[in-house]
Amino acid sequence: MLRSLQIRDYVIVDHLDLEFGTGFGALTGETGAGKSILLDALSLLLGGRGEASVIRDGCERAELGADFDVPADGEIRSWLERHHLDSEEGGLLLRRVVERNGRSRAWINGTAVTLAQLRELGDGLADIHGQHAHHALLKGEAQRRMLDALGGSEALARQVARAWTAWQQATAARDRAEQAREQLARERELLGWRLEELGALEFDPAEWAAVNQEQSRLAHAARLLEGAMAAREALTQAEPGLVDQLERHAGRLAALAEFDAVLGETAELLQSAAIQAGEAAHGLGRYCEQLEIDPERLAAIDDRIARVTGVARKYRVDPDALPGLQAATEAELERLRRATDVASLAAEESARAEAYRVVASQLSAVRRQAAAALGEAVTEAMQSLAMVGGRFEVTLEMEPQGSAHGLERVEFQVAGGVGQPLRPLGKVASGGELSRIGLAIQVIASRNGATPTLIFDEVDVGVGGRVAEIVGQMLRRLGRDRQVLCVTHLPQVAAQADWQWTISKEVRDGATLSRVHELDPVARVDEIARMLGGVRITATTREHASEMLGRRD
């Protein structure tokens, strides 16, 4: 439940620190005093959209905070643990800041979170019913969502939507295959030719590198042989050869080293050079013996290179990219094969359709049970809301082809009195009846839900007198199991509350500010009397107010 709420510089609130009680609490006050502002602030804390317009004039930011009491077990605690946002103290602190530049930030237990996380958590903390919520019930989509929420089938409804999408996608794939069968077959034929050509090429990156190297060698074989032979001749066959000259000079210097040892080192270097030159000459000899001028081999290699580069040029890729092109062609051929396999696609479509019908039938069964329970509960509530003899039913009109929402269309129907036929809610109910029926549905929906805090913002608009008192009793009974907050202008509703605040406006330093006052028993009598009598409060209105407060059930 909500334990406290802190508001700073929000709309016409400069600062408020509120402590909330259990049970049913009423928020009353003059129109425009800021009653709904408190609920708007709480909605923002629970993940609502934040805009710079909510910041009080002259301030740079609006700051909001709330403290919730969370049970040691349950979905909220599990959610906090899964997201590593639980606190050692076991409580739950929310904080939200909206800045003048439009930036909004949020924290859960002191850790910064995304707005989506805040909204996901907020959905389980409080359920806010706006003053125009009953008008939304005129829409089939809202009726369907409420029925699924009551039946606990929201997850099943999402599964149905996914199954429907998968079925429609399979149908579209089969349709495309049938309509484009000839075109796709032509594409397959062209890709088949490409794959055959690439396969026949038998391209291998390692072989390609070796072929290029061999082609370079064979193409320049004459120059290579000429250069190698000239170097070998200079080393060994010239008169005198370079090797002989090095050996002769090394010998002379070695003999002279007897008179000067320094020449010995030079002699050794020349001898080493002679040895290396000799080895180079032998190597050149072997190279010349092995080197062949083979025009036929060169022609074969040139042909291979021409084939590879021709195919690469044809498909506008580098030769090294040919293996990737071959793999991509194989994958595309397989895709087109599946895309043109109408029989396989039809079988897939049939399987998807059956999967949809199975899960949609499960949803229908749950909806039938929820529809019967909701119809019975609302019909019973109507008898107490000045609609004696009235009936409420949830009809499920079957749609044989189905839709993303299931196999049926949900519609709320009502009969206002005895003998009257059932007709759609929006076509039968007057404004007052719609308010009463809508309120009954919302109370019943909240009663069956798991949200610990329920908030009603002037949902009692359009009712009065004895009916208003009954509405207050409904909220009071709901408050026995939940924390219920209600913004109301009706004294009959406020008198049923376990506790009551009044919201007022005051002008201070030229600024209009909103103030909240907790009412003790005496002040509650005065406030209820004000709600009953308006500007002039008499002893009679006070007596009437005291009587109303004294007959709470």
Backbone angles phi and psi of 518, in degrees to 5: -80, 130
Digit-coded pLDDT (tens) for 342-365: 778 889 899 999 999 999 999 999
Looking at residue 163, its pLDDT comes to 95
Residue 395 and residue 422: Cα distance in Å, rounded?
A: 10
pTM greater than 0.85 (yes/no) = no
548 in a domain, yes or no?
no
Q: Which residue range forms the structural domain that includes residue 367? A: 134-167+345-452
272 in a domain, yes or no?
yes
Domain identity same for 220 and 294:
yes
Here the CATH number for the domain that contains residue 366 is: 1.20.1050.90
Domain identity same for 357 and 448:
yes
Domain identity same for 321 and 421:
no
Decide which of 434, 452, 470 is a domain's last residue: 452
Cβ-defined contacts of 104-107 (< 8 Å, 24+): 104/50, 106/47
Looking at residue 289, its pLDDT comes to 62
Contact 191, 329 (CB under 8 A): yes
What residues of the chain score a pLDDT lower than 50? none
Q: Which residues contact 533 (CB under 8 A, 6 or more apart)?
A: 541
Contact 444, 378 (CB under 8 A): yes
Q: Which tokens in the block code for residue 227?
A: 């250069």
Q: Which tokens in the block code for residue 219?
A: 């193409």
Closest CA to 121 of 81, 62, 160, 174: 81
Domain identity same for 358 and 332:
no
Q: How many domains does the chain have?
A: 2
251 in a domain, yes or no?
yes
Domain identity same for 156 and 189:
no
Residue 299 CB neighbours (<10 A): 11
Residue 524 and residue 498: Cα distance in Å, rounded?
A: 11
Domain identity same for 371 and 246:
no
Residue 403 and residue 490: Cα distance in Å, rounded?
A: 43
217 in a domain, yes or no?
yes
Beta bridge partners of 503: 29, 516
Domain identity same for 328 and 349:
no
Angle ∠(284,210,213) on CA atoms, nearest 5? 50
Residue 31 CB neighbours (<10 A): 6
Q: Classify residue 471 by burial, with Cβ atoms within 10 Å: 0-12, 13-18, 19+.
A: buried
Decide which of 452, 467, 502 is a domain's last residue: 452
Q: Which tokens in the block code for residue 403?
A: 């839709």
Q: Classify residue 88 by burial, with Cβ atoms within 10 Å: 0-12, 13-18, 19+.
A: exposed
Contact 446, 377 (CB under 8 A): no
Residue 118 and residue 47: Cα distance in Å, rounded?
A: 5
Decide which of 338, 358, 375 is a domain's last residue: 338
Looking at residue 482, its pLDDT comes to 84
Residue 330 and residue 199: Cα distance in Å, rounded?
A: 11
Domain identity same for 198 and 264:
yes
Residue 466 and residue 387: Cα distance in Å, rounded?
A: 12
Closest CA to 498 of 20, 3, 18: 20
Domain identity same for 331 and 219:
yes
111 in a domain, yes or no?
no
Domain identity same for 323 and 364:
no
Domain identity same for 159 and 193:
no
385 in a domain, yes or no?
yes
75 in a domain, yes or no?
no
Domain identity same for 317 and 434:
no
Digit-coded pLDDT (tens) for 226-271: 565 566 666 676 667 776 777 777 777 777 777 777 777 887 887 8
Residue 101 CB neighbours (<10 A): 9
Looking at residue 180, its pLDDT comes to 62
Residue 303 and residue 462: Cα distance in Å, rounded?
A: 94
Beta bridge partners of 112: 107
Residue 502 CB neighbours (<10 A): 23
Amino acid at 302: D
CA 515 to chain centre: 39
Q: What is the CA radius of gyration of the chain?
A: 45
8 in a domain, yes or no?
no
Q: Which residues contact 358 (CB under 8 A, 6 or more apart)?
A: none
